[in-house]
């Protein structure tokens, strides 16, 4: 079902039309900075390569192709600070994760309960200060 692009209003099947998607990605990439500007230096690339040699499979899905290093802690200093995951799983993890989800597999992340509002807050009538 087609909807209007959120930027230009052209009919599209996603949130943005293809042209606006490219423009948005360009803006996002420019804002994020280069990998070097974000702290990925030669030390990180060596550590990531060591982790991928030590564990030649994705920690989340078991894939053996297109592996990447995903840091559990930044800056990563040891192999314990790096998760080896395929590019697809790394993308699914997102650019940043909460402390509760950092370093967990996809199945473990799914089992982490969402924060719940306090039942006390939900039971207080509007306008009651107690």
Query: Mean pLDDT, to the nearest integer, of 39-58?
Result: 94
pLDDT surpassing 50 at residue 126: no
In the chain, what's the furthest Cα-to-Cα distance?
61
Mean pLDDT over the full length of the chain: 78
Residues 28 and 46 in one domain: no
Residues 62 and 94 in one domain: yes
Residues 54 and 95 in one domain: yes
Give the whole-angstrom CA distance, residue 107 versus residue 91. Answer: 15
Residues 61 and 24 in one domain: no
Residues 48 and 95 in one domain: yes
Residues 70 and 23 in one domain: no
Residues 51 and 100 in one domain: yes
Q: Which range (52-61, 82-91, 105-114) has the least confidence?
A: 105-114
Residues facing 34 on adjacent strands: none
Q: How many domains does the chain have?
A: 2
Q: Is residue 56 part of a domain?
A: yes
Residues 81 and 23 in one domain: no
**pTM > 0.75:** no
Residues 66 and 20 in one domain: no
- Structural domain including 47 reads 42-108
Omega before residue 75 within 30° of 0, cis: yes
pLDDT surpassing 60 at residue 98: no
Binned at pLDDT 50, 70 and 90, residue 58 comes out as: very high
Residues 56 and 91 in one domain: yes
Give the whole-angstrom CA distance, residue 56 versus residue 41. Answer: 22
């Amino acid at each position: 079902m087609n909807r209007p692009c959120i930027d230009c209003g052209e009919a599209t099947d996603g949130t943005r039309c293809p042209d606006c998607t490219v423009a948005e990605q360009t803006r996002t990439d420019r804002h994020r900075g280069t990998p070097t500007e974000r702290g990925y230096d030669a030390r990180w690339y060596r550590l990531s390569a060591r982790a991928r040699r030590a564990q030649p499979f994705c920690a989340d899905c078991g894939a053996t192709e297109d592996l990447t290093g995903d840091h559990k802690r930044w800056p990563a200093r040891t192999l314990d600070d790096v998760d080896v995951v395929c590019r697809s799983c790394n993308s699914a993890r997102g650019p940043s994760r909460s402390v509760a989800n950092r370093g967990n597999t996809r199945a473990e992340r799914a089992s982490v309960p969402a924060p719940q509002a306090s039942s006390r807050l939900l039971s207080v009538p509007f306008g009651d200060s107690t």
